Structure 1
Amino acid sequence: MGLVGSIVKKGFLGLAAVAAINSAYIVDQNEQAVVRQFGGKPVKVIVNPPDGADSGLVERLTEKYASEGVSISKGAGLRFKVPFIQGVINYDRRLLRWNGFPEQVPTKDKRYIWVDATARWYIEDPLLFLRTTATEEQAHARLDDNLDNMVRTEITRRDLIEVVRTDNRTMQVAEEELRETTNMGIVNEGRQKIVKDITDKAIDVCRQYGIGIHREGVLLKGLTYVPEVKTAVEQRMISERLRIAKKYISEGEGAYASITGDKNRIVDSINSAAYRTAQEIKGTADGRVTRIKSVFDRDPDFYGFTRRLELYRNSVNADTKMIIGTDNPLFGQLKGRNPSP
């Protein structure tokens, strides 16, 4: 009995060790888990929501699964379960990327554009995810079916300007140019409203599968005109720019003609005033010449005398000392007799 007892004891110790090992499990910081008993009945859910997740997630899930007797806890670390009876299923807790299928979508005003959407998602409710989706591959399939349809539906309900613009802000161009070149209508909602509508619907639908959508929402990462529309838009833009260029050229030529006309008028006025002044000076000079000639014709000797006096007055002052010869005409003038010719 001693040997048998020893074997049994070791067997119990070994079984206890295995049970102890099997009763502990670790939830990694990048994981969350669902604990189930035989038959698949869930007993515990460990959530580990990423940044940007619903802040009241634990409280909401606790209330949701209270009637099933499922406990909800949060955070990574070492945890325990009933060995051999309970099993653990782990899921990724990180944000995962969904990329939609780029497709050609018509807008409400019959403009075709290529649309490419994206979003970040995570497993919000591991238990519901297990029941409805089970794997990430299935989750991507559900996202493809639902989000692509939502994006297409929201865009087809709106005109092109609502999709490509976010608001009615004034572009950084001249007001007149903007008025002439942007005849696309008024933005009533804009792209932000479209993104919000898609995101709100996506959150409601994806929550049915235990999937959460990150708070940044479903984003339209690519909006491209189809070749036909792109060519038409480019041609219209070129035509508009050429028309504006012609308008500026016409305005420039008009301004040039106006400035040239003003310049010519000013030059003509200056030339006219200068000519008039020159004629007045010439007339004054001619009159003086005529008077001088008249005096000279009447008495040439007297005229010569007055001219010499004027010359002496301009060239001699009180301090001037002069040495004059007797044959100098000035000597004769100073002596009171006519100078020799």
Structure 2
Amino acid sequence: MRKNVKKALVIIGIVVVAFFIVSGMFFFTVDQTKQAVVLRFGKITRVIKDAGLYTKTPFLDRVIYIEKRINNYDIQPEEVITSDQKRLRIDNYALWRIDDPKLFVEKVKTIEGAQMRMDDIVYSYLRDILAKHTLSDIISDKRTAYLQQVTLLTRKALKGFGIYTIDVKIKRADLPQTNENAVYQRMKSDRQKVAAMYRAQGEQQAAQIKAEADKKAQIILATAQKQASEYKGEGDAKALEIYANAYNQDPEFYGFWRTLESYKVALATGTTIILSTTSDYLRLLDKGVQSDSKFSK
């Protein structure tokens, strides 16, 4: 009984192994992330882009699996010379995918073969495009437009290899160590010139603003002085008119009042005046003294 069970288990094992061997010879699967190219005697007979289970002819057909997802190729850093004769070490990469599996297998066969093609083509276009522009343009926002040109040219060149170039980007752009300090000093000098120009323009504008302000202040002051003179003249004229009216009403009293007013100014505290006793100017004081003498008697 035990011998029969062991024999049955051996037979089942042989059948299972035979099934997997036979199924591997007659069937193959394509993953969702892959494409498949079936070759017979080195020639492509089928291209399979959809995932699933497929059949093949044993011993005759060979299946090559091709990546369907986006590939990232990190290209080796290379030096380029800008239009202003500056050397830049460009570290860039390219995003691409296999667009035509049949062309891809026929022309480059493997991912490594495709990357060798891309290495030469991308660097060639990158060098040619960047060589037309200055260092300051390349490190500015204009770089995006330059890389778009490189992407379009690379896409067109690699189309015949079944490759679609999605994008070409620069990770970093460094100056070679030998001329890095010289370029930095040049950039610093240029910025200092620009700063000096802005300062000069600012000082010029400040001088113009000050001149305009001084001019307006002089105009305002002259206008005020003119108005003050007019008001003073009107006041003097009014005073003269009042004096004239007062004189016409009582000339003797007017003379008396004006003389007393002059005494307030001429005989102020600490003032000494030497005049003759017969001076007409002292007539009121002399009368006052005589009056005091009479009262004292």
* Same fold? TM cut 0.5: yes
Pair 1:45-2:47 in alignment = yes
Identity %: 22
Pair 1:34-2:8 in alignment = no
Q: Is the 8 A contact 1:112 1:229 kept in 2?
A: no
Q: 2:185 aligns with which of 231, 238, 248?
A: 231
Q: 2:238 aligns with which of 250, 268, 284?
A: 284
Post-superposition offset of 1:243 = 0.9
Paired position in structure 1 for 2:281: none
Structure 1: 5+ residue stretches without partners: 1-6, 47-73, 168-189, 301-341
TM-score when normalising by structure 1? 0.58
Amino acid at match of 2:220: I
Amino acid at match of 2:231: T
Paired position in structure 2 for 1:137: 112
- Provide, for residues 234-293 of structure 1, a one-character-per-residue CA deviation record: whole Å limited to 9, x for no partner: 421331232122112212212211221221222122123213312321332233134314
Q: Is the 8 A contact 1:164 1:191 kept in 2?
A: no
Pair 1:218-2:168 in alignment = yes
Structure 2: 5+ residue stretches without partners: 1-9, 255-297
Number of aligned residues = 240
Q: 2:121 aligns with which of 146, 149, 154?
A: 146
Q: 1:118 aligns with which of 83, 93, 103?
A: 93
Whole-Å separation in 1 of the counterparts to 2:85 and 2:23: 67
Whole-Å separation in 2 of the counterparts to 1:274 and 1:224: 73
Whole-Å separation in 2 of the counterparts to 1:294 and 1:224: 103
Q: Is the 8 A contact 1:115 1:220 kept in 2?
A: yes
Once the two structures are overlaid, the 10-residue window that deviates more, 15-24 or 238-247, is 15-24
Q: 2:249 aligns with which of 295, 301, 310?
A: 295
Post-superposition offset of 1:230 = 4.3
Secondary structure of 1:110's counterpart equals coil
Q: Which has the higher helix share?
A: 2
Whole-Å separation in 2 of the counterparts to 1:272 and 1:28: 100
Q: Is the 8 A contact 1:19 1:84 kept in 2?
A: no
Whole-Å separation in 1 of the counterparts to 2:158 and 2:240: 110
Amino acid at match of 2:243: V
Whole-Å separation in 1 of the counterparts to 2:69 and 2:229: 94
Structure 1 runs of 4+ aligned residues shifted over 6 Å read 10-14, 164-167
Whole-Å separation in 1 of the counterparts to 2:222 and 2:169: 69
Alignment of 1:175-190 (within 5 A): none
Secondary structure of 1:108's counterpart equals coil
TM-score when normalising by structure 2? 0.65
Whole-Å separation in 2 of the counterparts to 1:292 and 1:45: 129
Post-superposition offset of 1:32 = 0.7
- Provide, for residues 115-162 of structure 1, a one-character-per-residue CA deviation record: whole Å limited to 9, x for no partner: 343321122333443455443334333322331233113322x13277
Secondary structure of 1:241's counterpart equals helix
Change (3 A) 1:12 1:30: closer
Paired position in structure 2 for 1:19: 22
What is the RMSD of the two structures over their aligned residues, measured on CA atoms? 3.7
Paired position in structure 2 for 1:254: 208
Structure of greater relative contact order (alpha carbons < 8 Å, 6+ residues apart): 1
Secondary structure of 1:239's counterpart equals helix
- Provide, for residues 216-249 of structure 1, a one-character-per-residue CA deviation record: whole Å limited to 9, x for no partner: x434555566633343234213312321221122
- Provide, for residues 40-79 of structure 1, a one-character-per-residue CA deviation record: whole Å limited to 9, x for no partner: 3432222xxxxxxxxxxxxxxxxxxxxxxxxxxx322222
Alignment of 1:303-318 (within 5 A): none
Amino acid at match of 1:23: F
Change (3 A) 1:224 1:15: closer
Change (3 A) 1:145 1:266: same
Paired position in structure 2 for 1:76: 51
